[in-house]
Amino acid sequence: MRVLRIRPASSLEWALVENGRILSSGSDSPYPEHDESELVLPAARILLLHASLPKSKRLSEIAAFAIEESIISDPERIRALPVRKLADGKTLVAVIDKDWMQNLLSGLENDRITPVRMYAESLLPPLQKGSWSLVLDESGGFLKLGDESAHALDSNGLAPPAGLRLALQSEERPSGIFVHAKEPPDLDRWQAVLDIPCHKGMAWDWRLATGDGTDLFGGVYSRSGKKFDWRPYKPAVYILIFMILTQFSLTTYQWGSLAHEKHALLAEMDHIFRKSFPEARVVVDAPLQMQRKLEDLRRANGEGQPGDFLAMLSSISAQISSLPPESLSGIDYSRDGIDLLLDFPNRQTLDAFKNGLEKAGMHARIRKQDSKGEHIAVSLHIDAGDA
């Protein structure tokens, strides 16, 4: 697996590592292709404290105020990350500048880098039992006193750093100090000054460090709920949007074309109607008015219409004749059909009567019915249907 390690020092130093080998390294973007990425925070950017914290479900939010007496910065400007519980009941807390961290993560996100782990560099060096590890670099370096204790050091030239001297005065003295540096100082002189054995350690390289690193991501910086990165799907999204817009445009064009065609047909029917019946002064519904005019002309010429009273009554009489005497109690005719008041001995007789009308080309619709036992009184509307 190719892991991109990033160390945010004066610049964003990075190294692409796979199976303990450095494939490439550099600073700032562009970054190489990788499988996952992780951060290694320099000692100068992180403060490690041992603190007694209250029990709370919102510990990551209140931890900064719980350690207020141990820090100089305003609690509002830092992130205090509870790392792990210690043997003495206290908690290892990592303190980071809030704005700096947010700017770092935002900048990496803009480069499509989402770290999955974050380590404190000062906790990575290996430790000999009972000894300390001192890492020296151009900015000063850091001192690791134990698996849960480390702090940054200022450069003091070739002399032992002041932070090391203070640690020897305040902490339990180690059996020895291993100094990791590209160009080690005069360790014999240091040993004489500090009165403690000083040993030359391996040159420090954060890019390949595999010591006891504790992942600091958690709480507000939890990676488990990281946001979905939709940017790789941009082309597909753009294509989908284009297809939707194209379909919408085609549908709108088709609707406009059909509306125009409808308007043209109505205008043509209006023209034909006015030409055929010039005496008609008001045209509201040309097709309906044309149909009624044609019906009037047929009647004037003695032609019967399917909806005429006599034509419909002739067809209805054949069906009524199959009913018991006195079944018909009322009849009413209007332009849209005939209404009959009928009494049926049972539902089967009613259904047979309606089916007979349908076969004769008429449409029967029950407007009202009243049932008494099997006897049914019905108000039936009949029109010419499709005939």
Residues 4-53 have pLDDT tens digits of 999 998 899 999 999 989 999 999 989 999 999 999 999 999 999 998 88
Q: Give me the amino acid identity at 8.
A: P
The size of the chain, in residues, is 387
Residues 297-353 have pLDDT tens digits of 776 776 555 556 666 777 788 888 888 888 888 888 877 788 889 898 888 888 888
Give the DSSP letter string of 311-377.
Answer: HHHHHHHHHHTTSPTT-EEEEEEETTEEEEEEEESSHHHHHHHHHHHHHTT-EEEEEEEEEETTEEE
Across 124-129, average pLDDT: 88
Judge contact between 376 and 384, C-beta under 8 A: no
Q: Is 205 helix (H, G, I), strand (E, B) or coil?
A: coil
Residues 61-110 have pLDDT tens digits of 788 888 888 888 888 888 888 888 888 889 888 899 999 999 999 999 99
Residue closest to 80 by CA, chosen among 53, 109, 108:
53
List of residues 6+ apart from 248 with CB closer than 8 A: none
How far apart CA 333 and CA 55 sit, in angstroms, is 90
For 28-35, the CB contacts below 8 A with 24+ separation are: 29/111, 30/111, 31/4, 31/111, 31/113, 32/2, 32/4, 33/2, 34/2, 34/3, 34/4, 35/1, 35/2, 35/3
Percent of the chain with pLDDT over 70: 91
Work out the widest C-alpha separation in the chain, in whole angstroms. 138
Position 225 scores a pLDDT of: 44
How far apart CA 11 and CA 6 sit, in angstroms, is 10
Confidence of residue 385 (pLDDT cuts 50, 70, 90): low
Measured CA distances, 187 to 160, 179, 206, 376 (Å): 9, 8, 23, 119
List of residues 6+ apart from 203 with CB closer than 8 A: 180, 181, 182
How far apart CA 365 and CA 277 sit, in angstroms, is 35
How far apart CA 372 and CA 340 sit, in angstroms, is 19
How far apart CA 180 and CA 205 sit, in angstroms, is 9
Residues 242-291 have pLDDT tens digits of 999 999 999 999 999 999 999 999 888 888 888 888 887 787 888 888 87
How far apart CA 147 and CA 123 sit, in angstroms, is 7
Position 387 scores a pLDDT of: 40
**In the structure encoding, which two tokens stand for residue 1, read together?**
């697996």
Q: What CATH code would you report for 309-383?
A: 3.30.1360.100
Measured CA distances, 358 to 191, 210, 352, 363 (Å): 118, 91, 10, 6
How far apart CA 65 and CA 63 sit, in angstroms, is 5
Position 187 scores a pLDDT of: 93
Residues 198-226 have pLDDT tens digits of 999 988 899 988 765 667 766 556 554 45
171 secondary structure, DSSP code: S
Start-to-end C-alpha separation, the chain: 81
List of residues 6+ apart from 207 with CB closer than 8 A: 5, 15, 17, 22, 25
What is this structure's pTM?
A: 0.56
Judge contact between 38 and 8, C-beta under 8 A: no
Q: What CATH code would you report for 1-121?
A: 3.30.420.380
